[in-house]
Structure 1
């Protein structure tokens, strides 16, 4: 009887020890699990905060770069893009313009030439489907007081497509005819700009009352026909 009692007591103590042992293991597991989750959560939170800071800093950086191009601060722009050349073909403003597009749109010939030497993409278009050549042409048309637009020449000799239409389907030649920019029309024609587009550049110039421009187009066509004969 005594033995039976002590035997059961020992069994009960072993069972209790096992329970305590298991409980201790479970507690340790939960503790380490909590610790791991805490570390992961802290890492994710820190990462998110860093990304928010990076985005904010990048926005400020891009804004300063765009402003430097706008104000033609050549040395500053070159210094920045020398340190981060990948930005030349990356959008940096709310319109989706790259530094190269901004330089073309503002007739920054020195910057355009320098960016071309650094790998600027003459075929990349804006989100509105405007080519860099179109941007340069639009600037020249919009600033009649400027008798020269070296950006157009730089882009032409760099292989830009002078016939690439904008989002409305107008080529640079059609645009120049629409606004009666006779010198630009003549230059584009001499560079073999496409005359087969519809509506015809002559019809566009004539319909807008730009007689000189329409006459220049008609004369050029007649000269080419005479040469062909």
Structure 2
């Protein structure tokens, strides 16, 4: 890594040329005239490549995205309480040569979904079981909302997509897509759920932000559901990460 003379922030991930974070922070620095910082993508083919980045004295803070939110844990010295409970990290802060992991996805998601909910929203389906889904489950736990994971193959305590029926869809009025299905450029794809059982009491939340309206959300709109993409969650988690780095 070349020296830049700046405090370097960046995103750890794989195939992340599409990244929200780099564009968001670069614009933030320009608009708010924040000098002395840069933000870049660290596109790693495997998590072992993170070692040299963590040793670089110019690196001030990092975000972590798919597929490394869980794989990064062994490279950290400490986890904050929330990240420890979730078992996934999306923000790394460097303090006195220590690498401390945080999870700001929880902050972003909670602030994004809470305004969409009412007293009838008591049960949720979480589509996908990766690192992001753990943060979503944590938020539901804090809100007192019962949740069930849905994955491609049935596991204890989880549902498979083929098990989803009218009763399950009707009784789970919050459905969150934590899978990458439907992300640009594969915009015609959508999670394999029985959309015909959705209704106006459902809230559909997609962590994907590109496209703005995924095929998953479009199906929900047809049924009168409340729908939300992942953009406000991303803004929330980014601002919380910035706060952590500078505290």
- TM-score under structure 1 length normalisation: 0.28
Bigger Cα Rg:
1
Instruction: Give the structure with the higher percent strand.
Output: 2
Instruction: Give the structure with the higher percent helix.
Output: 1
